[in-house]
Structure 1
Amino acid sequence: MNKVQSDFLNDIKENKVAVTVFLINGVKLQGIITQQDEESLLLRRDGHTQLVYKHAVSTIMPSVAVDIAEE
């Protein structure tokens, strides 16, 4: 996993930022990323958890601005 992806996902996970995940087939998922590794994400919403494989993800859009710029 590259540094930008890792920093981005860690920031939204640690801050429990709600996200919209768009899959390559056009499906839109929403929730909070609770865990992630090199191949997958766990997305939680309304008490349910979904396992999402990263190869199926097109875009992850956080509900608030995320600043991962190096200082």
Structure 2
Amino acid sequence: DLEIVVEGDKRLFNQYGVMLVNPEKYPSVKKELGQAFVDWLISAEGQAAIAGYRIDGQQLFFPDAEKKGS
């Protein structure tokens, strides 16, 4: 039951990103599985999953991979 005191301020923008771990630097990384995750995350299906994540009916994340040209 907390009251929202600040909303919409650009200083509150908290963008998330994803990148594959460099397999040359870390040879034990599972490159193919990591790339599959990245590809899914930026796909239409992954973006829909992000947008569809809700708590108490409120959308928590707003995907923008398409806007970035990914």
TM-score (normalised: structure 2): 0.25
Higher-RCO chain (CA-CA 8 Å, sequence separation at least 6): 1
**Which entry has the higher C-alpha Rg, 1 or 2?**
2
Q: Which has the higher helix share?
A: 2
Q: Which has the higher strand share?
A: 1
